[in-house]
Amino acid sequence: MTDIATFNAWIDSRNNNLKSPTSFLSVTGMYWLTETPQRIDGLTGEFSAVDHTVTVANSSIGDQTFTLEPRAELTFDLDGIKVELASRAGQIIVRPRDPKNPMFDAFEGVSTWAFDPAFVVQATLEAFDEPRDVVVDSIVEGHKMSSVSPGELVFELGGKQNRLTAFAREGSQDLSIYFRDETSGKEAYGTGRSVAALHNADGSYTINFNQAGNFPCAYTDFATCPIPPRENHLSIAINAGERMPALRNTFEGISAQH
């Protein structure tokens, strides 16, 4: 498969994922549970949580109890839609996922820069003495995330040497990168993007910034996306990968973003 064909296949995959009936485009709200029972818009019952045990009382499927592991998610059916329960920063959130959410009709596909081979780079991993737990902020105030980093990836791009803290992927030698660059908040979404670093047989890594994707929070207010660590703010423009989406699902409804 040619580079262009691979790029087009990646775009198709991104669009298919976002058009899935339970994707982040389906999410109609995000609710943080406490011990006090609360109503969720569009759903029957009252939701509450004690530690990681969730109780749904007086719903159309009766009383239900669910227990989550830390940082885990589960879904169940209620009132004709999928309801997600997720553990985030020691609390439980509820996200209804409605396949009839108007965001699906508004979505016209991901917006990207044209493929540019200059943004396919080879990188070397400068490993830490020991893998580190790196704590990053998220778009939700006070909510932090921790990921394991084996080291920094070093590569040439834009006429200079760059380095990015990389994060381990469970069960894989490939790594993940969260980054910002000079397009962030302008042509690209402000919080940042993510891209894979693929492990090569010789121990090097390939970073294809043409496949730099937006976090879900680029499309919706109802996500808890990581903010790239400060050292991953590149001083060059990555004019590759996904651009800022035209529309975003917000607490006030679907809004244009520029």
φ and ψ at residue 205, rounded to 5 degrees: -130, 145
- Burial call 50-65: b when 16+ CB within 10 Å, e when fewer: eebebbbeebeeeeee
Q: Is the pLDDT confidence value at 258 over 80?
A: no
Percent of the chain surpassing pLDDT 90: 92
Amino acid at 6: T
Q: Is the pLDDT confidence value at 1 over 80?
A: no
Strand partners, 149: 132
Burial class from Cβ neighbours inside 10 Å (0-12, 13-18, 19+) for residue 230 reads exposed
Q: Is the pLDDT confidence value at 48 over 70?
A: yes
Q: Check if the beta carbon of residue 161 is closer than 8 Å to that of residue 236.
A: no
Q: Using CA atoms, how far apart are residues 245 and 258, in angstroms rounded to an integer?
A: 8
The pLDDT value given to residue 244 = 97
> Tokens 């439980």, residue?
92
Percent of the chain surpassing pLDDT 70: 99
Q: Is the pLDDT confidence value at 183 over 70?
A: yes
Q: Check if the beta carbon of residue 39 is closer than 8 Å to that of residue 58.
A: no
Interval 103-110 mean pLDDT: 96
Q: Is the pLDDT confidence value at 250 over 80?
A: yes
CB atoms within 10 A of CB 105: 10
